[in-house]
Structure 1
C-alpha cells in the first residue's frame, strides 16, 4: 500500500504544480485542511487498490525463498490475472498518464506566456501585475522541474518491477519469471527512497538551507534566525543600543571600543558572527533581556 500511495502522492503533486502554474495566485486559497484531505484521499485510493486480495480477489503469497508476502504474479487463473491488470492500471498507467499530461500542460503554458510577454507591449500597471505573475510562474516552474526529476527517478525505479511482475502474465503466459529477477526488480524499485533525499539535497536550495540549519553547531543557524529576530525589533532596541554595546564588550574584550553609542545595530551583528557558540548564547540572552526592558520604555 505504501508503494502505491507514494506514486499517488507524486501524481497529486504533479496535478498541484500544473494547477499553480495555470493559476499562480490560487496557492493563497489552499489551506492546511485541504492538504490533509488530499493526503487522506491518496492513501484511501491506495488502500482500495491493494486491499482486494484480502477480500478474496486474487491472493497474497510468500515469495519463493523469502520471508515476506507479495502479490500472486505466478498463478494463471482469471482472478489473479484480472487483479494484476487492475493493479497495473490503477497504480501505474493512470498515474503515469496524469503526470505526463500535467507536465506537458506546464511547459506549454510557460512557453505561451513567454511568447505573449515578448510580443505585446504593456502599460506600467499591467507590467507590474504581469511581473508578479511571471515571478510566481518561474518559482512554480523551478519546483516543477525538481518534481519531474523525482518522478522520473520513481518511474525508472518501479518500471522493471511492473514489467516483470505484471506484464509477464500477458506477454509470456507460458513461463514464469525467475524469482531472482523479480527480487532484483523489487529491490531496485524500493531503492527509490534512497534517490529521493539525494535528489532533493542536490537540486533544492531550501532543503540544503534547512539541512545546514539542523547542524548542532554552526554560525549559519545563528545568523539566519537571530539576525532576523534582531532586525525585526531594531527600532525598539535602538533605545538600548548603549547597553547592547556594553554587553558585547563584556563578552569579548577585543571588540572595537571606539564605536559610537549611537551606532547602528548592523555593526554588532556583523561582529558577533565571529564569536564562539558560547559567546553567541550569552549575547542572545542579553539581547532578549534588552528587548524585554525596551518594550516597557
Structure 2
C-alpha cells in the first residue's frame, strides 16, 4: 500500500536516534504514516486531545478578548497583559493545535515541510509570549502591591511596554531556527513541529540554541516569577502577623498563598518538560531514548492555552463576573458584588 512504502527523507530531516524499529530514517514523517511509532488508537487519541485544546483554548481566549472589549472596567492597564496572554494563546490554538489535530488524524505531518516551519514558529512564538506574559504579570503585581519604587505609578504606557517586550523576547526566541540557528522539525509522534533539540545534525548549533532557550526563556522568567510572588507572600504574611486577630487578613493570606502555588505549578507544568527533556538530551548525547516521549513537552506547552486562562483570568473575580454577565449567566447579587470595594485578595492576586 502507498501509505506504507519507504521513501527517502528530505535533506532537512535526519534522526539518528536508535529505536527498536529498523531503518527508521527511511520513513519520512512528511510522506507516510508513522505507524512504527504507535498504533492508530494513539494517534487518534492525540487528535482528540488537540481538538479539545483547539476548541476550548480558542473559546476561552476569544471570550476573554471579547469580554474586555465589551466592558470598559476591564480595560485597565493592569489587565492589558491578560489580553496579551489571551492573544498569544489564540495563536497557539489556531495555528498549532489545529495543525496538529489535522496531522494526528492522518498519523503523519501531511501538511509538509513548509507548514512544519510555520507551525513550529507560530507555536513557539505564541508559547514564548505566553511564558513572558506570566513573568510580566508577576512583575506588575510586585510593583503595584509591594511598591519597591515608592510612589511609582504604574500607567498604561508601562503596561503597553510590557506587552511589547513579551513579543520582542518571543521573536528573539522563535525566529533563529528560521535563519539557521537550529531548525523546526517534526517531534515526538512526528505530527507536531518544534525546534531541533534532539538530533545530532549540526550538534553545536542545536545545543547552543537549547542552552539559549533554557537560560533566557525558562530560567529568567521562572526566576522572575518566583522572586516577585515570594515577595508578595512575604508582604502578606507580615500583614497577617501584624493583624493576627483580623479574620479577613488571615483569609486573604490563605487564598493568595493557594493562588501563588497554582500559578507557579502551572508555569512548571507548561515549561518544565521541555526544559528538563532538552537539557537531558543535550547532556546525554549518544544515549538511547524513546523518541515518542518528545510528544509530552509539546502537549504540555499547547495545553497552557487552556489552563493559563483558567488560572489568570477565570480565577479573577472581576473577569469572571463580567464574563458570566456577557453570557447571560450572572445574578443580581454577583453584579452588585462586582461593583463593591475590592478585597485584600484582589489587590494581591492578578488583576
The two structures share one fold, judged by TM-score above 0.5:
yes
Name the CA distance, whole Å, in 2 between partners of 1:27 and 1:220. 37
Larger fraction in helix: 1
Aligned to 1:163: 276
- CA deviation after TM superposition for structure 1 residue 212, in Å: 2.1
Aligned to 1:194: 306
Cα 1:141–1:185, aligned 2, differ >3 Å: closer, same or farther?
A: same
Give the aligned CA root-mean-square deviation in angstroms.
3.8
Aligned to 1:106: 232
Deviations 1:240-281 (A, max 9, x none): xxxxxxxxxxxxxxxxxxxxxxxxxxxxxxxxxxxxxxxxxx
Query: Who wins on radius of gyration, i.e. which is larger?
Result: 1
- CA deviation after TM superposition for structure 1 residue 203, in Å: 3.6
- CA deviation after TM superposition for structure 1 residue 43, in Å: 0.9
Aligned to 1:33: 157
Deviations 1:7-43 (A, max 9, x none): 1111111111112222299798222222111101111
Give yes or no for the alignment of 1:85 onto 2:211. yes
Cα 1:69–1:220, aligned 2, differ >3 Å: closer, same or farther?
A: same
Name the CA distance, whole Å, in 1 between partners of 2:330 and 2:315. 22
Name the CA distance, whole Å, in 2 between partners of 1:64 and 1:115. 50
Contact 1:8/1:42, CA 8 A, preserved across alignment:
yes
State which of 213, 222, 228 in structure 2 corresponds to 1:96: 222
Aligned to 1:233: none
**Unaligned runs of at least 5 residues, structure 2:** 1-124, 341-351
1:250-261 matches, cutoff 5 A: none
Deviations 1:40-78 (A, max 9, x none): 111101111221222222222233653443111123311
- CA deviation after TM superposition for structure 1 residue 3, in Å: 0.8
Aligned length: 211
Give yes or no for the alignment of 1:47 onto 2:162. no
Aligned to 2:195: 71
Contact 1:17/1:140, CA 8 A, preserved across alignment:
no
- CA deviation after TM superposition for structure 1 residue 182, in Å: 0.7
Give yes or no for the alignment of 1:174 onto 2:300. no
1:90-239 matches, cutoff 5 A: 90-115=216-241, 146=259, 148-170=261-283, 172-199=284-311, 203-216=315-328, 220=332
Contact 2:127/2:301, CA 8 A, preserved across alignment:
no
Name the CA distance, whole Å, in 2 between partners of 1:68 and 1:203. 31
- CA deviation after TM superposition for structure 1 residue 6, in Å: 0.9
Name the CA distance, whole Å, in 1 between partners of 2:147 and 2:326. 34
Which is worse superposed, 8-17 or 180-189? 180-189
TM-score, length basis structure 2: 0.50
Name the CA distance, whole Å, in 2 between partners of 1:62 and 1:222. 48
